[in-house]
């Protein structure tokens, strides 16, 4: 999906969808806003690939300030709702 010279936004292999790294468009937003932006992008990409967040296997979140992790986690938990939590790292 959305393949370019260097990468694809998402690819599917053997029924598993892999997403490229994503960033917020509005980098002036606070961490909650940036996290929501990225999660909205993930929802849209997964939908285009015929799947959704209920099937997530793993995720990695990268922080420029590790102190933002707690606030991002609150947005993350709300976004996942009652879905199973994937394996995850916050770096």
Angle at 67 between CA 63 and CA 71, to 5 degrees: 85
- How does pLDDT run along the chain (91 residues), one tens digit per residue? 777 678 899 999 999 999 999 999 999 999 999 999 999 999 999 999 999 999 999 999 999 999 999 999 999 999 999 999 999 999 9
Residue 10 · residue 45 · CB < 8 Å: yes
Beta strands in 6-84 (DSSP E): 10-13, 16-19, 58-61
Residue 22 · residue 42 · CB < 8 Å: yes
Domain covering 10-90 in this structure, CATH number: 3.30.1330.40
Sequence ranges of the domains in the chain? 10-90
């Amino acid at each position: 999906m959305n393949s370019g010279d260097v990468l694809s936004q998402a690819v599917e292999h053997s029924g598993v969808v892999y997403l490229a790294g994503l960033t917020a468009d509005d980098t002036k937003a606070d961490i909650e806003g940036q996290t929501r932006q990225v999660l909205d992008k993930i929802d849209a990409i997964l939908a285009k690939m015929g799947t959704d967040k209920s099937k997530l296997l793993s995720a990695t979140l990268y922080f420029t300030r590790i102190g933002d992790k707690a606030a991002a986690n609150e947005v993350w938990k709300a976004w996942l709702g009652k879905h199973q939590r994937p394996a995850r790292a916050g770096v």
